[in-house]
Amino acid sequence: MSTAEGSNSAEGINTAESTRTLVVERVFRHPPEKLWRALTESPLLAQWMMNNDFEPVVGRKFQFRAEPAPNWNGVVDCEVLIVDPLQRLSYNWGVGGSESGLQWVVLWTLTPAEGGTHVRMEQSGFRPDQQAAYQGAKYGWQKFFGTLENVIGGLE
Amino acid sequence: MPAVADVVFRALADPTRRAIFEELTRQGEQTVHALTRYAGVSQPAVSKHLTVLKRAKLVRHRRAGRETHYRARPDALAPMVDWLRDYGTFWRDRFDQLEALLERMEP
């Protein structure tokens, strides 16, 4: 039985105001409690994401591990940033090592919806809870993606 | 991550290199001296950054007398744009798997 309506799925790369964020959202016909378990219980998480040693504790460092791919060792280095039961979960998403690699932030937001739960995944280039401290990095990447958009637009 | 995108991402992960690359896309061709003034770091540091950008094919250079001129190659960003699109596919697939898991779980 299918539980998600096609019309409820959405994704996009927002470029408004020089910010660049990847958003994927969907309404699941399941209660938030169940989604929270799938997002935060390591063995369940492994079944739909990747093998992991996740624990829902702020500051917890963990890894997702997938099959290595060319030029990627299959490891995502993460640190838990927000645990707001049944509502919000956020972690760093680091690929390629902390020095030369890329740091993203993944933010999950659960909202009760009619007959289920609206799930929003946002992948962005800064920490949602530390915007002031990371203003520099945020400005750098987001401004860059804005510029990138213009450059790519100029190619066509 | 595809190899080419990885090289581009790594080259641009550094804020100074990103700034140099942006400056070149904005201003067109620049000498190393001009870029050094702009970046506010030493010339050897700028040269090192330019080497990394060159390796990622993000800039090309030409020598004219004692000056080396650099220009941006914005088409080299294409793999990065593709990669960002691929991440959309990655998450959509994960959402599908999440949905399948929810079906298997006890209520």
Q: Determine the CATH number of domain A6-155.
A: 3.30.530.20
CATH of the domain at B93: 1.10.10.10
Measured CA to CA, the distance from residue B26 to residue B1 in angstroms comes to 28
pTM of the full predicted structure? 0.62
Q: Give percent of chain A above pLDDT 90.
A: 44
* The total number of structural domains that make up chain B: 1
**B44 and chain A in contact, CB less than 8 A:** no
Between B77, B87, B103, which is nearest A3 by CB?
B103
Give the DSSP H or E segment for A51.
strand A51-52
The answer to whether the beta carbons of residues A54 and A38 sit under 8 Å apart is: no
Of A35, A137, A152, the CB nearest to B81: A152
CB A102 within 8 A of CB B8: no
Provide the 10 A C-beta neighbour count for residue B18. 20
User: What DSSP designation does A148 have?
Assistant: H
Instruction: Name the B residues in 57-96 with CB < 8 Å from any A CB.
Output: 74-75, 77-78, 80-81, 84-85, 87-88, 91-92, 94-95
Q: Which residues pair with A103 in a beta bridge?
A: A94
DSSP three-state, residue A56: coil
Q: Is the pLDDT of residue A116 over 50?
A: yes
Model pLDDT, residue A102 = 66
Give dist(CA A102, CA A113) in Å, integer: 34
Write the ipTM: 0.70
Contact B81, B67 (CB under 8 A): no
Across A64-73, A92-101, A119-128, B79-88, the highest mean pLDDT is recorded for: A64-73
- A37 touches B104 (CB < 8 A): no
Closest CA to A22 of B11, B74, B90, B10: B90
Q: Residue A24: what pLDDT?
A: 84
Q: pLDDT digits over B25-39, tens only?
A: 888 899 999 999 998
Q: Residue A94 is encoded by which pair of tokens? A: 């680091």
A127 by DSSP, 3-state: which? Answer: coil
Domain, as residue range, for B71: 3-104
d(CA A66, CA A55): 18
Q: Is A1 on the interface with B (CB under 8 A)?
A: yes
